[in-house]
Amino acid sequence: MIEPLLPPWPERSPGPKPVPDRLCLQGILFVLYTGIPWQQLPLELGFGSGQTCWRRLERWQKARVFDQLHRLLLAELNAAGELDWSRACVDASHVRAKRGGAATGPSPVDRRKTGSKHHLITDGGGIPLNVITTAANVNDVTQTLTLVDGIPPVAGRIGHPRKRPDTLLGDKGYDSNLSRKELRRRGILPVISRKGQPDIHGLGMLRYVVEQTIALLHQFKRLAVGWERRLDLHDAFASLACSLICWRRLAKR
């Protein structure tokens, strides 16, 4: 599925013959799963050096390969009837960023140590639709509309590609009258608990799927701790992880 999305190499490129794309992809996946530093990627595995895989990841991210792969897998799931557009769930989770870099800041839940935050929106079944990385001190509510607007148009069914759920479920961290107004303007019903009032009855039983997907996302050790100083490379890993979660759901079906 990913091979047709990869940008071709020039026919007459200077230097030695490049490492095959398949081996570089395996090296990138090895780093994503294990969290191993690039410079410690074992040469005996045949993936090339860590620098080779790092540069290939950078090249593919510039070509938006991983975003296209994620959209393709979402279309496959939509065609199979696996996407639940009746509701979407939002949540966020903190990760430590030991090397600092872009999209990092003092964490209010980790004694102000440098960290980042993954903001995630899923469908009603926990399939990741969009993920955003920000500094750890960014409020969840500020990313609500960005998450919703960042859902790609998903094909796979007759008619126009869909990108809007019917309802949006969120906890009190997403309580905002402005967000509610903007969601309704987009044709989305906000189901968000209000601060200072009891939680909406039964809301937790519906939105647990986004917490489950965040746990799956952080099983990839490269994302459980923010090692990448460059935000574009971290986003590449996040998109690839979302694609793998979608692929597992598709393969399981």
Report residue 210 as tokens. Answer: 């986004």
Measured CA to CA, the distance from residue 208 to residue 126 in angstroms comes to 8
Measured CA to CA, the distance from residue 70 to residue 212 in angstroms comes to 19
> CB-based burial of residue 26 (10 Å sphere; 0-12 exposed, 13-18 middle, 19+ buried)?
middle
Domains defined for the chain, CATH in brackets = 84-227 (3.30.420.10)
Q: What is the DSSP string of 32-88?
A: HHH---GGG--GGGTS--HHHHHHHHHHHHHTTHHHHHHHHHHHHHHHTT---TT-E
pLDDT, tens digit, 9 for 90 and up, residues 22-52: 999 999 999 999 999 999 998 888 888 889 9
The residues, ordered by sequence, that sit 6+ positions from 177 with a Cβ below 8 Å of its Cβ are none
Say what the pLDDT of residue 140 is: 94
Element (H, E) at 89: strand 88-96
Say what the pLDDT of residue 13 is: 65
Q: What is the mean pLDDT of residues 53-75?
A: 96
Q: Which pTM does this prediction carry?
A: 0.93
Element (H, E) at 119: strand 114-123
Distances (CA, A) of 235 to 36, 128, 218: 17, 14, 14
Say what the pLDDT of residue 149 is: 97
pLDDT, tens digit, 9 for 90 and up, residues 185-232: 999 999 999 998 888 888 888 999 999 999 999 999 999 998 889 999
Is pLDDT above 80 for 15?
no
Measured CA to CA, the distance from residue 249 to residue 253 in angstroms comes to 6
The residues, ordered by sequence, that sit 6+ positions from 178 with a Cβ below 8 Å of its Cβ are none
